[in-house]
């Protein structure tokens, strides 16, 4: 049973919606810059659980928080440090957008992230953390948290081992003078206001020295992360909310938030879905580094169904690892093709279920699982200007393409070309040499190429015929297969390896091949 079906039935067996009608599924992301693809895994997991519940006739709402009320704590390396240093420590909604046309920093990067959700077919209901606080819906919970600061302090010590000063309060105040929140320290709650001093100096963030008292309601202050998390569950009545592995360890933020939820707010925490990391090139790298690691970069590499496969194909307990500059991109396309083949052959198993879940719910009833040319072959042919992609695809399929297959082929070719220019490793890049390149060949290699030239000159040959003839040459010349193929790839591509040689030669203009083989054999 696939993980999404397993989780959905676990939820149905063990939970009832708190409001009696609709399960509330929630996820969130602090928009501190371009969002890492790892956060897409959470979106996909929550989104897919909602889809499967709906298939089972169970109503749910998937709600997503755009986190714009956390401090801007570091400047990503793709932004101008000089321009953004003065904004360090401010809440993200108060940091300017890197480009004009957006309300603020969080909206700019948030919009990009939301665009990726849409492409993958996950469309939750969005809200901003700032709007939620400003609505006053958090006020009673902020009040409880302030009144019970000692209990929270004890829980954080017992669960996470973090020691807080006796004067510590679980809120972060936005300084009325300089607008920063990372520099403030709150103390002395009197039932209506808290005292605060803007005197903390984390990293390059400069405090203004202001001290004062403030009513911490309606977004004037924000609860610290683990308390905020628990309070949001209560304020919204969250039934289901998972979290990444980094939060899910014993003593981690989820553990602490669960304790705070039960012991401070008297609320049974939501059904948890702990999930593993999405690694990029084997690393859990930050999105401020490394091209290809953002949710958007990754989505640019795949059509929606294949991107969904990347996100949902592995069990939530397994790591995902995709390296845009390695072989994992063609492999993911191969995986999707393999699932499609199973569907065409009428298999009803986990593979066909997974294939169906890669499609949007509305397309699942009548699944179309088209034949497609392998991604790596499309990528190769796309680099051979004289080859017709459609002819080659029809040849590979064994019959003419249908209209839908043609559309799919064009789409795959667009993705392949983008991958080749943006990320593909050298071994996938081919450049057909218009002129005979300067390469070294042994006498045996030259002899074999000469025999091949004669064979091709006699009449037009198919890929299959050329393939068989190449194998005959091994004993006829004789020549080691490795030496034969190396010679061929060298004179056409200046490489030592390449595509299936017979079909490759058959696809090139015949006179061009004969001329090249002769030139090489007479060198
Ligand atoms: Zn200040």
Q: Where residue 451 sits, what CATH number does that domain have?
A: 1.10.10.350
3-state secondary structure of 33: coil
| C-alpha 76 – ligand 1 centre gap (Å) | 23
| C-alpha 445 – ligand 1 centre gap (Å) | 77
Q: Are strands 23-30 and 184-187 parallel, antiparallel or unpaired?
A: unpaired
| C-alpha 134 – ligand 1 centre gap (Å) | 21
| C-alpha 322 – ligand 1 centre gap (Å) | 43
The encoded tokens of residue 134 equal 């400003």
- 281: confidence class by pLDDT, cuts 50, 70, 90: confident
Q: pLDDT tens for residues 425-474? A: 988 999 999 999 999 999 999 999 999 999 999 999 998 999 999 999 99
- 289: confidence class by pLDDT, cuts 50, 70, 90: low
CB of 427 closer than 8 Å to CB of 497: yes
Report the pLDDT value the prediction gives residue 486, as an integer from 0 to 100. Answer: 94
Give the closest residue to 128 by CA, choosing from 149, 143, 111: 111
CA atoms within a 13 Å half-sphere pointing along the CA-CB vector of 2: 21
The encoded tokens of residue 420 equal 């080749």
- 523: confidence class by pLDDT, cuts 50, 70, 90: confident
Region of residue 184 (left: phi > 0; alpha: psi -120 to 50; beta: else): beta
Mean per-residue pLDDT, 293-310: 96
What burial class does residue 155 get, using C-beta atoms within 10 Å of its C-beta: 0-12 exposed, 13-18 middle, 19+ buried? Answer: buried
The domain boundary residue, chosen from 367, 384, 405: 367
Alpha helices for 65-222 (secondary structure H): 81-84, 105-120, 129-134, 139-147, 149-155
Per the listing, tokens 């002395």 go with 188
Q: What's the structural domain count of the chain?
A: 4
Reported for 183-189, long-range contacts at CB under 8 A and 24+ positions apart, including other chains, are: 183/89, 183/207, 183/208, 186/216, 186/221, 188/213, 189/146, 189/147, 189/149
| C-alpha 197 – ligand 1 centre gap (Å) | 8
CA atoms within a 13 Å half-sphere pointing along the CA-CB vector of 438: 0
255 lies in some domain: no
* 37 and 130 inside one domain: yes
Report the pLDDT value the prediction gives residue 132, as an integer from 0 to 100. Answer: 98
In this predicted structure, the answer to whether residue 385 has a pLDDT above a threshold of 90 is no
Q: With DSSP H G I counted as helix, E B as strand and the rest as coil, what are the percentages for the chain, rounded to 5?
A: 50, 10, 40
**First vs last C-alpha separation in the chain:** 62
DSSP code for 84? H
Report the pLDDT value the prediction gives residue 97, as an integer from 0 to 100. Answer: 98
In this predicted structure, the answer to whether residue 242 has a pLDDT above a threshold of 60 is yes
The domain boundary residue, chosen from 367, 398, 415: 367
* 8 and 117 inside one domain: yes
Mean per-residue pLDDT, 312-332: 95
| C-alpha 207 – ligand 1 centre gap (Å) | 5
412 vs 506, which has greater pLDDT? 412
* 375 and 500 inside one domain: no
436 lies in some domain: no
| C-alpha 138 – ligand 1 centre gap (Å) | 24
Give the closest residue to 275 by CA, choosing from 43, 88, 481: 43
| C-alpha 87 – ligand 1 centre gap (Å) | 12
Mean per-residue pLDDT, 502-515: 91
DSSP code for 23? E
Domain of 207?
171-223
| C-alpha 210 – ligand 1 centre gap (Å) | 5
Instruction: Report, in angstroms and rounded to the nearest whole number, the Rg of the chain calculated over CA atoms.
Output: 30
Report the pLDDT value the prediction gives residue 290, as an integer from 0 to 100. Answer: 61
Q: What percent of the chain shows pLDDT beyond 90?
A: 87
In this predicted structure, the answer to whether residue 329 has a pLDDT above a threshold of 60 is yes
Report the pLDDT value the prediction gives residue 249, as an integer from 0 to 100. Answer: 83
Neighbours of ion ligand 1 (CB under 5 A): 175, 177-178, 198, 208, 210
DSSP string, 118-130: HHHT---EEEEHH
| C-alpha 204 – ligand 1 centre gap (Å) | 14
Report the pLDDT value the prediction gives residue 387, as an integer from 0 to 100. Answer: 86
Q: pLDDT tens for residues 102-141? A: 999 999 999 999 999 999 999 999 999 999 999 999 999 9
Largest CA distance in the chain: 99
* 25 and 124 inside one domain: yes
**What's the 3-state SS for 431-449?**
CCCCCCCCCCCCHHHHHHH
| C-alpha 93 – ligand 1 centre gap (Å) | 16
492 lies in some domain: yes
The encoded tokens of residue 97 equal 């957008």
| C-alpha 176 – ligand 1 centre gap (Å) | 7
The encoded tokens of residue 90 equal 């401010």
* 57 and 6 inside one domain: yes
Residue 167 CA to residue 188 CA, distance in Å, equals: 7
339 lies in some domain: yes
| C-alpha 188 – ligand 1 centre gap (Å) | 18
In this predicted structure, the answer to whether residue 285 has a pLDDT above a threshold of 70 is no
In this predicted structure, the answer to whether residue 287 has a pLDDT above a threshold of 80 is no
* 396 and 451 inside one domain: no
Give the closest residue to 263 by CA, choosing from 222, 234, 220: 234
Report the pLDDT value the prediction gives residue 204, as an integer from 0 to 100. Answer: 81
* 304 and 363 inside one domain: yes
| C-alpha 140 – ligand 1 centre gap (Å) | 26
* 2 and 54 inside one domain: yes
* 401 and 447 inside one domain: no
| C-alpha 88 – ligand 1 centre gap (Å) | 12
The encoded tokens of residue 64 equal 């997503």
236 lies in some domain: no
Domain CATH for 331: 3.40.50
* 338 and 383 inside one domain: no
CB of 409 closer than 8 Å to CB of 363: no
289 Cβ contact list (under 8 Å, min separation 6): 77
Per the listing, tokens 């958007």 go with 296
| C-alpha 69 – ligand 1 centre gap (Å) | 16
- CA 57 from chain centre, in angstroms, equals 29
263 lies in some domain: no
130 lies in some domain: yes
Whole-number average pLDDT of the chain: 94
Q: pLDDT tens for residues 208-223? A: 999 999 999 999 999 9
Angle made by CA atoms 221, 223, 224, in degrees to the nearest 5:
125
| C-alpha 170 – ligand 1 centre gap (Å) | 18
| C-alpha 94 – ligand 1 centre gap (Å) | 14
What pTM value is reported for the model? 0.92
241 lies in some domain: no
In this predicted structure, the answer to whether residue 410 has a pLDDT above a threshold of 70 is yes
Strands (E) in 217-298, as ranges, are 221-223, 243-244, 274-275, 278-280
The domain boundary residue, chosen from 204, 223, 242: 223
408-432 as b/e, with b when 16 or more CB fall inside 10 Å?
Answer: bbeebbebbeebbeebbeeebebee
Q: What percent of the chain shows pLDDT beyond 70?
A: 99
CB of 28 closer than 8 Å to CB of 63: no
| C-alpha 229 – ligand 1 centre gap (Å) | 26
* 516 and 456 inside one domain: yes
| C-alpha 80 – ligand 1 centre gap (Å) | 23
In this predicted structure, the answer to whether residue 56 has a pLDDT above a threshold of 80 is yes
* 102 and 39 inside one domain: yes
DSSP code for 185? E
């Amino acid at each position: 049973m696939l993980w999404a079906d397993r989780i959905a039935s676990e939820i149905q067996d063990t939970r009832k919606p708190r409001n009696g009608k609709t399960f509330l599924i929630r996820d969130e992301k602090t928009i501190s810059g371009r969002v890492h693809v790892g956060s897409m895994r959470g979106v996909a997991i929550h989104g897919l659980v909602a889809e499967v519940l709906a298939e089972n006739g169970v109503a749910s709402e998937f709600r997503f928080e755009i986190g714009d009320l956390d401090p801007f704590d570091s400047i990503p390396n793709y932004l101008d440090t000089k321009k953004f240093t003065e904004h360090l420590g401010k809440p993200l909604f108060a940091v300017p957008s890197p480009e004009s046309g957006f309300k603020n920093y969080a909206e700019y990067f948030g919009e990009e992230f939301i665009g990726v959700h849409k492409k993958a077919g996950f469309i939750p209901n969005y809200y901003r953390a700032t709007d939620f606080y400003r609505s006053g819906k958090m006020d009673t919970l902020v009040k409880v948290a302030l009144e019970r600061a000692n209990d929270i302090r004890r829980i954080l010590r017992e669960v996470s081992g973090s020691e807080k000063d006796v004067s510590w309060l679980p809120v972060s105040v936005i300084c009325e003078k300089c607008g920063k929140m990372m520099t403030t320290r709150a103390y002395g709650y009197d039932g209506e206001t808290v005292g605060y001093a803007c005197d903390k100096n984390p990293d390059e963030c400069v405090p203004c020295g202001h001290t004062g008292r403030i009513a911490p309601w309606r977004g004037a202050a924000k609860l610290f992360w683990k308390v905020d998390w628990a309070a949001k569950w209560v304020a919204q009545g969250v039934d289901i909310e998972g979290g990444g592995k980094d939060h899910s360890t014993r003593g981690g933020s989820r553990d602490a938030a669960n304790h705070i939820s039960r012991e401070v707010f008297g609320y049974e925490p939501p059904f948890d879905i702990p999930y593993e990391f999405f690694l990029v090139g084997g690393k859990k790298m930050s999105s401020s580094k490394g091209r290809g690691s953002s949710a958007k970069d990754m989505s640019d590499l795949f059509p929606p169904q294949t991107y969904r496969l990347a996100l949902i194909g592995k069990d939530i307990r397994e790591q995902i690892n995709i390296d845009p500059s390695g072989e994992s991109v063609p492999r993911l396309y191969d995986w999707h093709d393999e699932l499609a083949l199973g569907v065409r052959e009428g298999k009803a198993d986990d593979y066909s279920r997974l294939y169906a879940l890669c499609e949007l719910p509305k397309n699942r009833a009548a699944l179309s699982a088209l034949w497609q040319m392998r991604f790596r072959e499309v990528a190769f042919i796309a680099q051979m200007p004289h080859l017709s992609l459609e002819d080659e695809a029809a040849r590979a399929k064994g019959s003419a393409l249908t209209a839908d297959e043609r559309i799919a082929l064009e789409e795959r070719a667009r993705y392949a070309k983008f991958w080749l220019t943006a990320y593909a490793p050298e071994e996938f890049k081919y450049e057909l040499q218009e002129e005979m390149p300067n390469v070294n060949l042994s006498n045996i290699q030259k002899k074999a190429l000469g025999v091949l030239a004669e064979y091709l000159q006699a009449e037009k040959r198919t890929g299959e015929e050329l393939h068989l003839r190449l194998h005959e040459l091994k004993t006829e010349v004789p020549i080691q297969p490795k030496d034969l193929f190396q010679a061929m790839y060298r004179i056409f591509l200046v490489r030592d390896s390449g595509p299936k040689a017979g079909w490759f030669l058959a696809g090139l203009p015949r006179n061009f091949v004969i001329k090249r083989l002769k030139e090489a054999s007479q060198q």
